[in-house]
C-alpha cells in the first residue's frame, strides 16, 4: 500500500462497524476508450460501479461495451440516467442542464425523454438520476419523484432537496476536487477519503473516466484493493444503499 492511502487505512482500522462505499462514474457516452480503460481497473477487483450515462450521447459502442461487460460478468455495472444531453441551459452563472431558468414542464419532458432513450438502449435501469454538473433547481427533485424516480445523486455540497419519497445519496469525494481552483493531489485525496470514512457514511466517490490519466487509474486500483479487502469497508451500488431505508416507492419512471 502506498503512503497516500495510509490515512484511509488508519481510519478504517479505527472503525467498530463497516462503512459503505459506492463509486459513480459520470459522462458515459463521452470517450468510450477511456471508459473501457476504467472498467479494466475495476474488473480484477470485482467491485460494483454505477455508471451515469448521458442518454443522447451514448453511442452504439457505449452500449456494446457496457452490456458485454455485464453479460459476461467481467464487471459489476449498473447504468443510470445522467441528464439528457449534458448541455448548459443557464444564460449566466454556473452551468446547469436542469437549472432555475427552465420551467417544470421543460424539465419534466427532458427527464422523461432521457429515461425513454436510456431504457431503449440498456433495458430496465435503476430509478436513479444524476444531474450534469451535480446541480439542479429546487423543483427538480419534485419532478423526479412525480416521474417515479427513487434516488437523486449529487455532490454533498449541493445540500439536500428535502423531497419526501426521494432518497438522496450524495458524492462526498470528487477524485478531481479542487481547493482554491487548484486540483488536490494524492495526499490530500487520501486525507479526504479518510475523513469521510471516519464518519457515518456512506462514502461516495465520483470519477470522470474521460479525464483520468494512467496515474489516476493506478491510484484508483490501489484504492479498490484496499476497500475490497478491508473488513471495515463494504462496496455496493447506489440503489442497494437506498433500498434498506428509503427505497419506498414502487413506481417506475414513465
What is the distance, to the nearest Å, from the Cα of residue 230 to the centroid of all Cα atoms in its chain?
22
Query: What are the DSSP calls for 220-242, one per residue?
Result: HHHHHHHHHH-TTEEE--HHHHH
Q: Which residues contact 45 (CB under 8 A, 6 or more apart)?
A: 221, 224, 225, 228
- The answer to whether the beta carbons of residues 85 and 58 sit under 8 Å apart is no
Positive or negative torsion for Cα 26, 122, 34, 201: positive
3-state secondary structure of 50: strand
The pTM of the full predicted model, rounded to 2 decimals, is 0.92
Q: Which residues pair with 173 in a beta bridge?
A: 205
One pLDDT digit (tens) per residue for the chain, 254 residues: 689 999 999 999 999 999 999 999 999 999 999 999 999 999 999 999 999 999 999 999 999 999 999 999 999 999 999 999 999 999 999 999 999 999 999 999 999 999 999 999 999 999 999 999 999 999 999 999 999 999 999 998 888 888 899 999 999 999 998 887 788 899 999 999 999 999 998 999 999 999 999 999 999 999 999 999 999 999 999 999 986 443 233 333 33
Alpha carbon dihedral 164, 235, 97, 245, in 10-degree steps, equals 0
Cα separation, 57 vs 66, whole angstroms: 14
Cα separation, 187 vs 189, whole angstroms: 5
- Tell me how far CA of residue 118 lies from CA of 114, 121, 178, 199, 250, in angstroms: 6, 5, 31, 35, 20
Cα separation, 99 vs 70, whole angstroms: 33
Domain 3-246 has CATH 3.20.20.370: yes
Amino acid at each position: 500500500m502506498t503512503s497516500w492511502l495510509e490515512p484511509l487505512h488508519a481510519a478504517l482500522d479505527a472503525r467498530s462497524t463497516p462503512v459503505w462505499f459506492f463509486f459513480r462514474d459520470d459522462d458515459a457516452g463521452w470517450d468510450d476508450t477511456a471508459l473501457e480503460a476504467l472498467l479494466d481497473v475495476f474488473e480484477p477487483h470485482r467491485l460494483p460501479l454505477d455508471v451515469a450515462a448521458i442518454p443522447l450521447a451514448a453511442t452504439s459502442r457505449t452500449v456494446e461495451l457496457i452490456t458485454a461487460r455485464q453479460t459476461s460478468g467481467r464487471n459489476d455495472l449498473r447504468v443510470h440516467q445522467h441528464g439528457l444531453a449534458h448541455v448548459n441551459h443557464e444564460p449566466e452563472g454556473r452551468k446547469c442542464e436542469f437549472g432555475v431558468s427552465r420551467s417544470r414542464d421543460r424539465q419534466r419532458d427532458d427527464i422523461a425523454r432521457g429515461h425513454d432513450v436510456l431504457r431503449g438502449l440498456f433495458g430496465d435501469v435503476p430509478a436513479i438520476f444524476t444531474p450534469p454538473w451535480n446541480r439542479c433547481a429546487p423543483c427538480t427533485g419534485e419532478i423526479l419523484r412525480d416521474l417515479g424516480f427513487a434516488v437523486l445523486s449529487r455532490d454533498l455540497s449541493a445540500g439536500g432537496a428535502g423531497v419526501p419519497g426521494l432518497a438522496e445519496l450524495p458524492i462526498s469525494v470528487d477524485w478531481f476536487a479542487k481547493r482554491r481552483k487548484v486540483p488536490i493531489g494524492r495526499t490530500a485525496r487520501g486525507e479526504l477519503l479518510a475523513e469521510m470514512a471516519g464518519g457515518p457514511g456512506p462514502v461516495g466517490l465520483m470519477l470522470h473516466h474521460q479525464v483520468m490519466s494512467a496515474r489516476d487509474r493506478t491510484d484508483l486500483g490501489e484504492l479498490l484493493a484496499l476497500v475490497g479487502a478491508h473488513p471495515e469497508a463494504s462496496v455496493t451500488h447506489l440503489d442497494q444503499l437506498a433500498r434498506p431505508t428509503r427505497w419506498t416507492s414502487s413506481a417506475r419512471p414513465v
